[in-house]
């Protein structure tokens, strides 16, 4: 935290950066005043064979994208809109869902270190505080999914959106009750440059595990994720395509899928979709 309101600055990020790979690519990091989507720009860099670890940031996005085709509201200087380009080894992509879980854990760790706020993780990618969304992850394969034995040219874009300094006025009506931001939680300025540098470092730790820990990677990533879960042990509603069902979220399997126990005791593995958690008043958020 710092006393004054800082805005994103590549120089400041550079001086805070402690990672070795992320943010230290041979391709220069980018900070755009306005861009459609940092994930789109990172995909363009991938198609031009950019170096691994390059970071794309924007102060504002006009076409910020969320999961399931949603919009990520991205007003000027209100949040971190960040994409990292990675080139993971094929073996580590046997379970690509682990990358989303690992990124969520890394961002939550960075937020805790920099802002002193402990965020929860709602499967699969939501960073939340008391039921309100603070951030999310959009993982994409811009050159197509080539599978665990895919050849060269395999890139992964990890897009991270984190609300730092929003205002109620900047939010569409339907989001006002469902969203919050870090400075609302801390009551003081949060330095976005320190956050970016910490995200790079925490993400790099997770990436080291995913690349180097072989069979143990999955349990290490999932154990860390579970420490912050707000989903496991709760009644949930799962919506996937045209189907919806309710049950109890019991666990995460080795691929990162959510295991949900139905009323008849059977277990369903959920690989994609939207999960909402039942509150004491019976509503789902």
Q: What is the nearest approach in angstroms of ligand BTN to the Cβ of residue 252?
A: 18
- Compute the least distance from the CB of residue 37 to ligand BTN, in Å: 3
Contact between 109 and ligand BTN per CB under 6 A: no
Q: Tell how far CA 73 is from the center of its chain.
A: 15
38 touches ligand BTN by CB under 6 A: yes
Nearer to ligand BTN, 128 or 217 (CB): 128
Instruction: Please identify, among the stretches 34-42, 96-104, 177-185, 276-284, the one whose residues bind ligand BTN according to the rule CB under 6 A.
Output: 34-42
Measuring CA to CA, how many Å separate 43 from each of 94, 128, 132?
A: 21, 27, 30
- C-alpha atoms less than 13 angstroms from C-alpha of 257 in its C-beta half-sphere: 12
Residue 193 in contact with residue 229, Cβ under 8 Å?
Answer: no
At its nearest, how many Å lie between ligand BTN and the CB of residue 65? 4
Looking at the Cβ atoms of 38 and 193, the one nearer to ligand BTN is 38
Closer by beta carbon to ligand BTN, 64 or else 247: 64
Instruction: Kindly state the number of chain residues that form the binding site for ligand BTN, as judged by CB under 6 A.
Output: 21
* From candidates 72, 99, 155, 207, binder to ligand BTN by CB under 6 A: 72
Instruction: Determine if 161 is a binding residue for ligand BTN (CB under 6 A).
Output: yes
Q: Decide if residue 37 touches ligand BTN (CB under 6 A).
A: yes
- Cα 238 from Cα 193, distance rounded (Å): 36
Told to check if 86 binds ligand BTN by CB under 6 A, we report no
Closest CB to ligand BTN among 37 and 92? Answer: 37
Provide the β-strand partners of residue 121.
Answer: 127, 229
* Residue 138 binds to ligand BTN (criterion: CB under 6 A): yes
The answer to whether the Cα torsion of 58, 62, 63, 65 is positive or negative is positive
> Closer CB to ligand BTN, residue 109 or residue 159?
159
Q: Measured between alpha carbons, how far is 56 from 23 in angstroms, rounded to an integer?
A: 9
- Asked if 210 contacts 98 with a C-beta cutoff of 8 angstroms, the reply is yes
Q: Give me the residues that bind ligand BTN (CB under 6 A), please.
A: 37-39, 61, 64-67, 70, 72, 81-83, 125-126, 136-138, 159-161
């Amino acid at each position: 935290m710092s006393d004054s309101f800082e805005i994103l600055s590549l120089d400041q990020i550079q001086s805070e950066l402690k990672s070795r790979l992320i943010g230290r690519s041979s391709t220069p990091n980018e900070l755009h005043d306005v861009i459609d989507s940092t994930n789109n720009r990172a995909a363009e860099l991938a198609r031009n064979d950019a170096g691994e670890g390059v970071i794309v940031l924007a102060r504002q996005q006009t076409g910020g994208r969320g999961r399931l085709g949603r919009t990520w509201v991205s007003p000027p200087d209100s949040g971190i809109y960040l994409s990292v380009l990675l080139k993971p080894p094929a073996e580590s992509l046997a379970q690509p869902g682990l990358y989303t879980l690992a990124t969520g854990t890394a961002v939550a760790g960075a937020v805790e270190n920099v802002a002193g706020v402990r965020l929860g993780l709602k499967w699969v990618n939501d960073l939340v505080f008391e039921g309100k969304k603070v951030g999310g992850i959009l993982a994409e394969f811009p050159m197509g999914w080539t599978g665990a034995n895919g050849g060269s040219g395999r890139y992964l874009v990890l897009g991270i959106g984190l609300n730092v300094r929003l205002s109620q006025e900047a939010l569409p009506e339907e989001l006002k009750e469902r969203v919050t931001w870090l400075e609302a939680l801390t009551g003081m300025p949060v330095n976005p440059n320190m956050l970016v540098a910490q995200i790079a470092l925490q993400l790099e730790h997770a990436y080291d595990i995913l690349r180097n820990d072989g069979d143990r990677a999955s349990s290490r990533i999932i154990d860390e994720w579970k420490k912050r879960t707000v989903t496991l042990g709760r009644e949930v509603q799962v919506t996937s395509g045209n189907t919806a069902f309710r049950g109890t979220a019991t666990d995460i399997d080795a691929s990162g899928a959510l295991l949900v126990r139905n009323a008849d005791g059977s277990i369903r593995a959920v690989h994609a979709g939207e999960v909402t958690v039942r509150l004491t008043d019976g509503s789902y958020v």
